Chain A
Amino acid sequence: RKEVEQDPGPFNVPEGATVAFNCTYSNSASQSFFWYRQDCRKEPKLLMSVYSSGNEDGRFTAQLNRASQYISLLIRDSKLSDSATYLCVGPSGGSYIPTFGRGTSLIVHP
């Protein structure tokens, strides 16, 4: 089983919608998670960190649910420019090797 798993989507939503993605992880000892954004044919770019207390940045909210071992990314008031693939990242075991999920594709349409 891959250490970090995501629903590949695509999530197809209208502008202004609220959309949420989850990412499950298998290593219960993991404590550091991040969300990256990757536009088509571009490199991944760091979007935000995921803290145990939750983390909000404008329209984006990231949360960690330790009991159920998943992290989430909530996007409010979706914009066309939010269309991208969203990758979650967590450490692999205790070695601090970053492991990327396969990514969730988001398409925001007019």
Chain B
Amino acid sequence: DAGVIQSPRHEVTEMGQEVTLRCKPISGHDYLFWYRQTMMRGLELLIYFNNNVPIDDSGMPEDRFSAKMPNASFSTLKIQPSEPRDSAVYFCASSSAGTSGRARYEQYFGPGTRLTVT
């Protein structure tokens, strides 16, 4: 299996521009998570989907952030307009609920997108 795929791997953009991050989860996984990691705040859960439906987006910082999952094999995280404080590494992860339910915590992470907003 190719694992979780994210693109782009690096993104440098100017303040005010729109940024779209992309994720392809592992085939057959029914949970998809978007995280943001910074030195100051560590790894923060932004939003997660179950069977393509957003379940909890309470971690999304503000209305400038939006996420979609149009099908089981693709998700996007969009920032519009971007600000310097959005600079971070954004990870996408997927998991499968399995039979016990514990498996949802056994997440497989993509390599991340390193975002720099100047």
Contacts and interface: CB of A to CB of B under 8 A. Distances in A.
Nearest to B59: A97
A43 B108 CA distance: 9
B114 to A, nearest CB: 8
B111 A98 contact: no
Nearest to A51: B102
A32 B91 contact: no
A47 to B, nearest CB: 11
B104 A98 contact: yes
A44 interface: yes
Given A32-B102, A98-B33, A100-B42, A46 B111 contact: no
Given A97-B48, A97-B56, A44 B104 contact: no
A99 B59 CA distance: 11
A46 B42 contact: no
Nearest to A46: B106
Interface of A: 32, 34, 42-46, 49, 87, 89, 91, 95-103
Question: Sorted from nearest, which 3 A-B pairs have the closest CB atoms?
Answer: A43-B109, A102-B42, A100-B43
Interface of B: 33, 35, 42-43, 45, 48, 56, 91, 101-102, 104-112
28 contacts: A32-B102, A32-B105, A34-B105, A34-B106, A42-B111, A44-B107, A44-B109, A45-B109, A46-B106, A46-B107, A49-B102, A49-B106, A87-B43, A89-B105, A91-B105, A96-B101, A97-B48, A97-B56, A98-B33, A98-B45, A98-B104, A100-B35, A100-B42, A100-B45, A102-B42, A102-B43, A103-B42, A103-B43
